[in-house]
Amino acid sequence: MATKPDDESCDTSPQFTRVFDPNEKSARDHDHTRLSNWPLVPASVRKTNGTTVSHKEMCNNLATHTTAFMQQQMRVLEKLERLERLSQDMSRLIEEESLTDVRIQCIDGCVNAHRCLLHSRTSLMSKASQTDGQSVEINENKKVVRHWLQYVYSGRVEWEKDDAEKIQKIAEQYGPERSAFTVYTDAETVTFGCFNISGVLTTKPPASTDYCDFNRGVSPCATEPVNQPAPVSQVNVDQQSSLSVVIPDELTIKLAPPLRSG
């Protein structure tokens, strides 16, 4: 019975009455209604300039940038596929003997070629005597001349390391214009257009704003890449090469990271 006054004092406490008093049923019902009807406002992120962006708007902007980026990369890959098919067709043109109209006299025989391609891509047909004639002369063997023609026609570079210096001399003399060959033996990766090719015996060519890079010891030439067939590698080495596509910086879209509140 001695504890009764203490219970009465607890019951009459303002703090206890406001929160736990069972007689305050109307107050509790009112609080419950307010909590159940409380609007669910989405979290917002405050930008650095003071304006706020809702979570939905931020996700929409991110999705828009991502979609534009993926569409742009798909167009790049489609263009590379078209240029690859063009390079394959031009490479097969070398074997079409019936369509040739000029012969290249070599040390061990002759190689048939096409006058229009030699005239547009090289300086071999620039002399008047050679332009009017049916044959031209290159003081090299047929194998080296065929490798050089394959590059002139299709941009493919598939010669062996031992033939690189000989092909370099022909390229320096006849073109393609301003092409240069840099041959090394212990490089790991070489830039090849939009590709990186590993496991070849060349070095990475110097950076340039206007270039079309070649594989296996070819440094960039001063031709616009949009006007040249994209060379596609078929590396003829004992070890297997890995191929990975690298998107140029000018074709990429940089997405800003999501902003965080606080």
Give Cα 97 distance to the centre of its chain: 37
Q: Is the pLDDT of residue 170 over 50?
A: yes
Contact 141, 107 (CB under 8 A): yes
Question: Comparing C-alpha atoms, which of 173, 171, 193 is closest to residue 182?
Answer: 171
**Pairwise pLDDT comparison (228 vs 122), residue with the higher score:** 122
Give start and end residues of each alpha helix (H) in 22-157: 25-36, 55-92, 115-121, 128-132, 142-154
Extract the tokens encoding 100: 């040739």
- What residues pair up with 106 in beta bridges, in sequence order? 109
Q: Among 8-12, 84-88, 122-126, which stretch is predicted with the lowest mean pLDDT?
A: 8-12
Sort 75 into a burial class: Cβ within 10 Å, 0-12 / 13-18 / 19+.
Answer: exposed
94, containing H or E segment? none
What are the strands of the beta sheet with 212-214, ordered from one edge? 180-181, 218-221, 212-214
Residue 219 or residue 144, greater confidence: 144
Question: Could you tell me which residues come within 8 angstroms of residue 171 by beta carbon, excluding any fewer than 6 positions away?
Answer: 148, 151, 179, 180, 181
Superfamily assignment of 66-248 in CATH? Potassium Channel Kv1.1; Chain A (3.30.710.10)
Euclidean distance between CA atoms 179 and 174, whole angstroms: 10
Q: In the chain, at which residue ranges do the beta strands (DSSP E only) sit? A: 44-46, 52-54, 102-106, 109-113, 135-137, 180-181, 189-192, 195-198, 212-214, 218-221, 243-245
pLDDT of 87: 83
pLDDT tens per residue, range 131-149 = 556 788 888 888 888 888 8
Tell which wins on pLDDT, 13 or 207.
Answer: 13
The average pLDDT across 211-232 equals: 40
Burial of 256 (0-12, 13-18, 19+ CB in 10 A): exposed
Q: pLDDT band at residue 173, thresholds of 50, 70 and 90?
A: confident
**Confidence check: pLDDT of 218 > 80:** no
**Mean of per-residue pLDDT scores for the chain:** 65
pLDDT above 90 covers a percentage of the chain that reads: 1
Which tens digit of pLDDT belongs to each residue from 177-212? 644 444 333 334 444 444 444 433 333 343 433 333
Helix axes 142-154, 164-174, angle to 10 degrees: 60
Is 224 a residue whose pLDDT tops 70?
no
Q: What is the pTM of this model?
A: 0.43
pLDDT of 84-113, one tens digit each? 888 888 888 877 777 788 888 888 888 888
Tell me which residue has tokens 């010891």: 217
CB atoms within 10 A of CB 21: 15
Q: Which is more confidently placed, 149 or 218?
A: 149
Q: What does the alpha-carbon distance between residue 64 and residue 26 come to, in Å, rounded to a whole number?
A: 51
Residues 6+ apart with CB under 8 A from 147: 158, 159, 163, 167
CA distance 21 to 3: 19
Per-range mean pLDDT, top range of 31-35, 50-54, 126-130, 229-233: 50-54
| Of 86, 99, 215, 90, the residue nearest 153 (C-alpha) | 90
Q: What is the pLDDT of residue 40?
A: 52
